[in-house]
Chain A
Amino acid sequence: MNRVLFALMGLIGVVAVGTGLFVFGGPGTARAEREDQDRLMAVNDLARAISCAYDTAVLPEAIGVTSFSDACRPTNLRVSASQLMAGGLLTYRRLSDHRFQICVIVHDLGRSLNSAPYSDMTAGPEGAACLTRDMQG
């Protein structure tokens, strides 16, 4: 056995794993990413619910998740939008009669905005990911 080449193979593996963990993060980063994904899904679900409930109506100044009818209420949420709103992580903002914005604080804004299902979101203040929607009016 060529010990130098065998050691080189081992070194390549160690460098790959070390660099991978350094660049992408370990279990802690992964847990934070999952939390971020849940929050972004909550934003999407809430935006869909608002679009459903206020499709042609004028948007309210403030909104609560409980105020939706059954037909528009988001169902399979992993993280309740109302919990996020109560914790100050998720905010709704009425921009005009038929335009609104929902922002959510995330751990890693860059990675959130790079991920395909949330690519229509933009960077908001204080590391928040924001989704802006226009209603038909």
Chain B
Amino acid sequence: MSQKEDLSLFVREALLAGRPRPEIAEVLVVAGWSQGEVDEALSAWAETPFAVPVPRPRTVVSARDFFVYALTFVALGIAAFHVVWLGFLVVEMLWPDSDGANYWQAREARNSIAAILVAAPLYAWLTVRERRRLAADPGLYRSAIRKWTTYVTLLIAALVFVIDLIVALASFLNGELTGVFVAKVVIVAVVSGVLFAFYLRDTDRG
């Protein structure tokens, strides 16, 4: 049995024995547990009066969640990166003073199209499927892996957006801002901004 399990069992038995929470907290702190560990252990049990301690729902970690959310995360990353990259290539090609594409750019563009055509539907399918499961069982919102991937996605989207603005502003101040550059900055800002807004809504559910 792990130390956390020992602590949880002790708290449960102390509550079952009718000991008040401050007293349980005090003996645990004296025994060497940190205040944070004690608070966490106590908060695992609801203060609802009942014959036995009532457990609160906990975050869950499952191998299935890891598979689904990691795959969704990677599919989103691939699709987003290639949408931006393809956007860059299209802008370079279509800009009025462009010399036109070369073989390398055309090949890169088709590689990006292939990546989007595979990754984007995969992401959409996984996301819709998972949202249906969450709607059917809101308890699944407690998935720790779901929360982690949501916040990691938010972090990456926010960083990309901020760096994009910094680079744009630096280029402007250095007098290097061109039409092509502005178009690329807008593409990055739109993609990262939409992703950030989409995942920000997810944090409402914890």
Contacts and interface: CB of A to CB of B under 8 A. Distances in A.
Contacts of B189: none
A116 B198 CA distance: 41
Interface stretch (A17-25, A57-65, A80-88, A93-101): A17-25
Interface residues of B, number: 35
Contacts of A13: 79, 83, 116, 120
Interface residues of A, number: 28
Interface stretch (B43-51, B96-104, B136-144, B174-182): B96-104
Given A21-B113, A23-B93, A114-B100, 8 more contacts: A5-B194, A5-B198, A6-B127, A12-B190, A16-B113, A20-B109, A114-B101, A115-B103
B136 to A, nearest CB: 13
A69 interface: no
Dominant SS among interface residues on chain A: helix
Dominant SS among interface residues on chain B: helix
Interface of B: 79, 82-83, 86-87, 89-90, 93-94, 99-107, 109-110, 112-113, 116-117, 120, 124, 127, 131, 190-191, 194-195, 197-198, 201
Given A6-B127, A17-B116, A24 B106 contact: yes
> What are the 9 closest A-B residue pairs judged by CB atoms, nearest first?
A114-B102, A115-B102, A24-B109, A5-B198, A115-B103, A13-B120, A110-B100, A1-B131, A16-B83
Contacts of A112: 103
A116 B109 CA distance: 17
A29 B102 CA distance: 13
